[in-house]
Amino acid sequence: MKLLTKYYDTFAGRVLPWDSVRLFADIPAAFTPVEGFNADAVCAEHREAIIRQAEEMLDTPYPVTLASDFIRFYRAGNREIFEAQYFTRRDMAVRFALAEALEGKGRFTDRIMDGVWLICDEADWVIPAHIPHEYALQPWYKEEHPYIDLFAAETGSTLAWIYALVRDALNAVTPQICDRLLYCLRERIIKPFLAHDMYWMGLDGRRVNNWNPWILSNVLSVCALTETDTAVREQVVNRVCRSLDSFIDGYYTDGGCDEGPSYWTAAGASMFDCLELLWDMTGGYVDVFGEELVRRMGEYEVDFHIDGDYFINFADCPAHMMPSARLIGRYGRRTGSRRMIDFGAYFTAAMKQSDCALHWKLYRSIKSICEIQPDCKNYQPAAQSWYNGIQVMSERADGLFLACKGGHNAESHNHNDVGSFIIYADGEPLILDAGVGQYTKKTFSSERYTIWSMCSDYHNLPTVNGCTQQPGGNYRAKDVVYDQDGHSLTLDIAPAHPAEAGLVSLKRTAKMADGVISVSDDVKLSAPGSVVFTLMCGRKPIIGDGVITFDGGFTLRYPSALTAVLDDFDMEMENGSIRQRWYGLTIYRLLLKSGEFTEGSFTVKLSRG
């Protein structure tokens, strides 16, 4: 569903000039780029914390980025070392800028100048892992910038905000710093955005992912804060609307994000950032906050919350997450979602979330430190939810939480996990999805499914005749039925497997009823064969005869036709970062093995006691 088509090519005279646009126009902290950032909108407590953070880095040198670190990605697949230096530069520069904007004593000005100069000195802002093949040998040091990736766009936004925060302080030293900053933003962001159709724009009709709104929100920030040519501002806004529609059009009406709730912060939430910026830049002319799809795209994040900082983590998603509660509350306020408003207030209080935390997405995080968080009132998590488009259900009752998914194996940030499920007990993981480790060169290559955490035999799924699920859009669930009254999801996951598995059908039903979670698999094979059911456990399973016990007083009963074996599973495979993302939790891989059969029904039941 495209929501912005009525605005295409209607922006002549509608996009506010640089000297009159008001950013944050819906809150008292509104400011114009001419006036500069309204530092008085930040309360004394947050002001002190932000200045203190900058003070702690005052004598810290900016990292040096080396060619050997840049090339490390191509040599060894490591992207972490270069990116750590790259991001630290930007983080330091913007923290110094915000502290200087709040304090105004000139203590941080030289540090800001150094950061801006170093960033502008970089031959290009696209990180090694994101350089498209066709540009890999492009001599960008010759000032040709045909491509914008996530972090080039983020860099542009960082410099634009530094300009908005401390332009006068920098100009008081020398106008050369701001002149160079503005030159780089025109050459590396505005010009290539208007001149080149990049794949993430979706202008050729292809389906796009979080790159689209994430980059667009940063392009809009650059344009809103620094572009003084009104005709260019109109061109940027028009092109953003056409491109953003390609992202919105890829969503089902339920608003579900197949990339997972961690990527929602870059996907649906970045779309919201775009809508806020478009509203500001056009004086309220572009306004789709009342659309049901926009609201549902926000409520998805609330529905995928489990407990504490745990969220449903299908796809490339860690289980522990800390989305911006102020953003969620603001999204709810602007779309009329009481659930989002209440969740934002609850999550802020429950997680003791800092009001002065800065994130990459600067429009969002700087606006958040200027807002007053409403008191936490009566937030109650939903007892059940069903996202028909992405085919994810959740049920909660009696201290138990169940989520199960259908879908297909060509989802964005896909894992081969059609039919997988997770169970949490008393707010802690019991049967879990391992999630994703540190990204490397393998992660987004033809070797993706050699990584264990991407494969179905390391999800809570059956392996049939030694065959695991395969990647691709043809490998999917069929006959998917969610029974709201029966608290169950039924689906046939046989089509997610290759023909060699010999499956006629594999009907899985995940259900919660009367304090019991049951997962049943009715398996039909074309010839006698065997199945191994994998369970990835967040607590050590103690195997008994037909019964497995877990800490906390929970038992899992399994059929006598299956043999339970605790696999010698090494969490440190690949780079060991999955253990880090689980905060040191040990994951156990439990296998339930069948004998030979042609037709069989296998049910496991988890309950308290």
pLDDT, tens digit, for every residue of 597-607? 999 999 999 99
516, with CB counted inside 10 A (0-12, 13-18, 19+), is middle
What's the rounded Cα separation, in Å, for the pair 167 and 177?
A: 9
Q: How confident is the model at residue 136 (pLDDT cuts 50, 70, 90)?
A: low
Q: What pLDDT does 357 receive?
A: 60
Reported confidence tier of residue 145, pLDDT bands at 50, 70, 90: confident
Q: At residue 527, does pLDDT exceed 60?
A: yes
Q: What is the pLDDT of residue 43?
A: 79
Least confident of 440-449, 466-475, 571-580: 571-580
Best CA proximity match to 239, nearest among 266, 219, 265: 219
User: For 349-383, b where at least 16 C-beta lie within 10 A, e where not — what string?
Assistant: eeeebebbbbebbbbbbbbbbbbebeebeebebee
> What domains appear along the chain, each with residue ranges and CATH number?
1-34+229-382 (1.50.10.100), 57-196 (no CATH), 384-608 (2.70.98.70)
Model confidence at 78, pLDDT cuts 50, 70, 90, reads confident
* pLDDT 10s digits, 257-307: 999 999 999 999 999 999 999 999 999 999 999 999 999 999 999 999 999
The pair phi, psi for residue 114, each rounded to 5°, is -60, -45
The whole-number pLDDT of residue 141 equals: 59
pLDDT tens digit string along 570-587?
877 766 689 999 999 999
In the prediction, which pLDDT does 315 show?
Answer: 92
Write down the pLDDT at residue 82: 93
Token couple for 288: 């789709």
CB 54 within 8 A of CB 48: no
Output the pLDDT for position 358: 67
Alpha-carbon span 285 to 282, nearest angstrom: 5
pLDDT bucket at 100, cuts 50 / 70 / 90 = very high
Chain segment 346-404, per-residue pLDDT in tens = 998 888 776 556 666 889 989 988 987 777 778 899 999 999 999 999 999 999 999 99
The pLDDT of 13-24, averaged and rounded, is 97
Q: Which residue has the tokens 């496991």?
A: 604
Task: Name which of 172-176, 370-374, 447-451, 455-459 the model is least confident about.
Answer: 370-374
Say what the pTM is.
0.95
**CA of 585: how far to CAs of 7, 432, 582, 588, in Å?**
50, 11, 5, 10
pLDDT confidence of residue 249 = 97
Query: What pLDDT sits at residue 302?
Result: 97
Q: Which two tokens stand for residue 502?
A: 């010999």
Mean pLDDT across the chain: 94
d(CA 302, CA 268): 12
Would you state the pLDDT for residue 320? 96
Mean pLDDT value across residues 522-529: 98
Report pLDDT digits (tens) over 395-440. 999 999 999 999 999 999 999 999 999 999 999 999 999 999 989 8
From the number of C-beta atoms within 10 Å of its C-beta (0-12, 13-18, 19+), residue 59 rates as: exposed
C-beta neighbour count of 511 within 10 angstroms: 20
Residue 575's pLDDT is 65
- Give yes or no for residue 140 having a pLDDT over 90: no
Helix and strand numbers, DSSP H then E, in the chain = 17, 21
Question: For residues 322 and 283, is the Cβ–Cβ distance under 8 A?
Answer: no
pLDDT tens digit sequence for 218-233: 999 999 999 999 999 9
| Distance of alpha carbon 325 from alpha carbon 503, whole angstroms | 45
Which of 73-87, 123-137, 290-304 is the most confident on average?
290-304
Cβ burial of 485 (10 Å; 0-12, 13-18, 19+) is: exposed
The span from the CA of 227 to the CA of 183, in Å, is: 11
Between CA 236 and CA 533 the distance in angstroms is 52
Predicted confidence at residue 360, as pLDDT, reads 67
Mean pLDDT score, 77-102: 94
Q: Band the pLDDT of 92: cuts 50, 70, 90.
A: very high
Per residue in 103-113, is it b (16+ CB within 10 Å) or e — as a string? beeeebbebbb
